[in-house]
Structure 1
Amino acid sequence: MPQDRPTLLTVRDAAERLNVTPRTLKYYEERGLVSPTRSEGRYRLYDENDLERFGRILRLRSLGFSLHGITEMLKRPLEPTEGGHNRFSNDSLKEIRDALTQQVGALDARIEAMRRELKEAQTLMGYLSNDLDYVERRLAGENAETLLKQRREAHAKRAQKKPKAQDESA
């Protein structure tokens, strides 16, 4: 009986053949790197093209490429070279570079926003620590007027230092 259909493997069989865990295959699917077909019972079924794609992903990961980089690379075809190897064309490499540069820029912007947020949180933490110190000292029986005078003096000192710090950074 001739086989017209390609051989389809379950996630367990495909994982065994690729020497990875089934969870690894599912993870790459969740990341959108592979889209296996599904059986009527909704089981994942992998064909030879899926296995080749997984092999490519696994090779790129073993070379240290990030999943973002791999995602960009998988969007472009490999082209045969004179040496018999498949490689990216210069145009494809430029597109990959541009996409990765854009992702790095977006991450830089996120990092900068997080740094600003962290600085604001640290400032707020300083204020709250001062408030907590005041309350604890009051509970310990220290005089409220003396503590308030100390707070006003400390606040005045901080206010005098701020303009100097801002002038230095300008």
Structure 2
Amino acid sequence: MSDPWDRVGVVETYTGGRFDLFDPDPDDIRLQDIATALAHTCRFGGHCQWFYSVAHHSIHVSRELPSADPRLQLLGLLHDAGEAYIGDIPRPLKAEYEQFDRVEERILEAVWTAVALEPPSDGEWERVMAADDRLLAYEADRVLEDGSWAESVADLGYDLQSDSIDAIRDRFLSRGETLLNRLPEQP
């Protein structure tokens, strides 16, 4: 048996596991790893006026979705879970190089399996992405020096001043566990 470190795409996770970026295994995914990595990852490639994490963003995306639908809220919370393993790659770069999207999609498929969640339907994913876009505009308008490119900025009322990384990680983890517990029993 070969050493997993011999493979090019393997990274070590917060909990000490190993994760293969190019052959993601749902058994290697831990909500703790996702929460920790996203809490340490700054939005907008780090070009914010203050530190604002992807985990904090994801909590707000989740809250933008109907509270009566814990599945949709969980999809919103985990919509950027791939970034826990590959980082927050700016949209223009993803748009130019499709391979980033393919790697991230495969990781998200593994995430859905790891948390026993059916992959989102097209309609569900559209709702999550619409919430993500609302947050993108709201955040750009507030955390970037010049977010004037953001159109139709609604005042969503979210506090974007981040707590400590540990506090955001714990909030993300708690929200994820709460939403997982609110899901209907699987047959």
TM-based fold match above 0.5: no
Which category describes the TM-score, using the shorter chain as reference length? Answer: under 0.3
Q: Is the radius of gyration larger for structure 1 or structure 2?
A: 1
Q: TM-score, normalization: structure 1?
A: 0.27
Bigger relative contact order, structure 1 or 2 (CA pairs below 8 A, ≥6 apart): 2
The answer to which structure has the higher helix fraction is 1
